[in-house]
Every structure is written in structure tokens, then in C-alpha cells.
Amino acid sequence: MAGKTDEAYALARHRMVTEQIEERGIRNATVLQAMRSVPREAFVPLFLKRWAYGDRPLYIGYDQTISQPYMVGLMTEALQLKGSERVLEVGTGSGYQTAVLAEISAAVYSIERIARLSRRAERTLEQLGYANVHLRVADGTQGWPEAAPFDAILVTAGTAKIPYAYGKQLQERGRLVIPLGPHGDQVLHRFTRRGEGFDDEDLGRVSFVPLISS
């Protein structure tokens, strides 16, 4: 029975990547392969596993969600990772986005302010064998100074203003992908550091839970 269930999830995962990710314009082969590899069903509550590969976010408790698969693909591709980067993720949540990043980077440093979510994500990531992930329960707006600088920073919560720490902790030519704007009406931006300045690209409208400072 378990084998049949695993096969069904694998087929659903392949269909998700083809129909929800690739057909909507995500072309980075490394990102697509990462999303084919990570078992999304492992990161959602038991009663929601049947919907793990649906085209929508899912509730994971504590007023938080696991992002829609397409959004995970879009944000991961926007980071332009090659495989050798050190990545800061703000908002571990379920750990699904963390796992996708871990597939295509050297190390992921992920911060979550809700301790129970962080512990749950840690157990799942350990069970799946991700050894290049470092987790911390902390205020995500402060970044992770001891591990900086980072080649890329991904923020999975919306904010009206970019926390000062992110600019300080981003490497030259590093990319910051972050939703900016009021709750429910945000725009996803990619900032690329150029010396003391940043190039800014608009990646489209999104809706994320708010980034909360402790």
C-alpha cells in the first residue's frame, strides 16, 4: 500500500511541475528538477496530504501557510542560483521552500519566529536527509549576522519596508527577493546589489502573510 501511495505522490508531483510550474513560464532546469525531487506531501499536515499538489497554498497552523507551488518555483528561479551559494531564507514555515533551496545551493540558513513550526520543519528536513540546512528561531527582520554575507536572500512574508539588515548582509551582486506592500496587495521584487546601490525588478503581484518583528 505504501508503495502505491508513494507512486501516486510521485505522479502528482511530476504533473504539478509540468502543469503548474513549467507551463506558466518557469524555465530554469535546476529549479524544475528540485521541485520534482522534493516530496511536498511530507511538509503538509496529515489531513491535507491529498491536496499537497494542488494549485494553491495550504494552511500549516499558527496563521501560516505553505506557499502555492508556482510561487515557490517563481521565487526560487528569481534568486538565480547556480549551486554554490549561501542563501538566507526568512520564514521557514513548513520547510518546503527550504528543501527546494537546499537542492540547488551550498547552504541554506532559515529563520522562523514560531518555534513549533521551526521544530516541525527541522524534523522533516532531517528525515529527508538535508544536511546543508541551518535553522534558527528568531526575529527574521534581523537576518543572521554571524552567517553573513549571503549570495541570496529570500523573504517569504510581505512587508511595507525592507529591513535594514538585509542590505547589510547581502553580498555584492547578491539577490534579495521580497514581497513589498500592504497585506493582500504586494508586489514581488528582486533587488540585485551593485556596490552601495540596488537594481530593482518588479516580478508581479503576490499575497503573503505579513513579516512580523519580534
Domain ranges for the chain? 56-206
CB 21 within 8 A of CB 35: yes
The tens digit of pLDDT for each residue in 7-23 reads 899 999 999 999 999 99
Angle between helices 96-103 and 69-78 in degrees, nearest 10? 40
Cell numbers for 179: 514581497
Residue range 56-206 in CATH 3.30.1510.10: no
Amino acid identity at 47 = F
The tens digit of pLDDT for each residue in 174-186 reads 999 999 998 778 9
CB 86 within 8 A of CB 106: yes
Which residues are identified as catalytic? 67
Task: Kindly give the confidence (pLDDT) of every residue in the chain, 214 residues in length, as a single tens digit, with 9 standing for 90 and above.
Answer: 455 588 899 999 999 999 999 999 999 999 999 999 999 999 999 899 999 999 999 999 998 889 999 999 999 999 999 999 999 999 999 999 999 999 999 999 999 999 999 999 999 999 999 999 999 999 999 999 999 999 999 999 999 999 999 999 999 999 999 999 987 789 999 999 998 889 999 999 998 888 888 6
Cell numbers for 5: 501511495
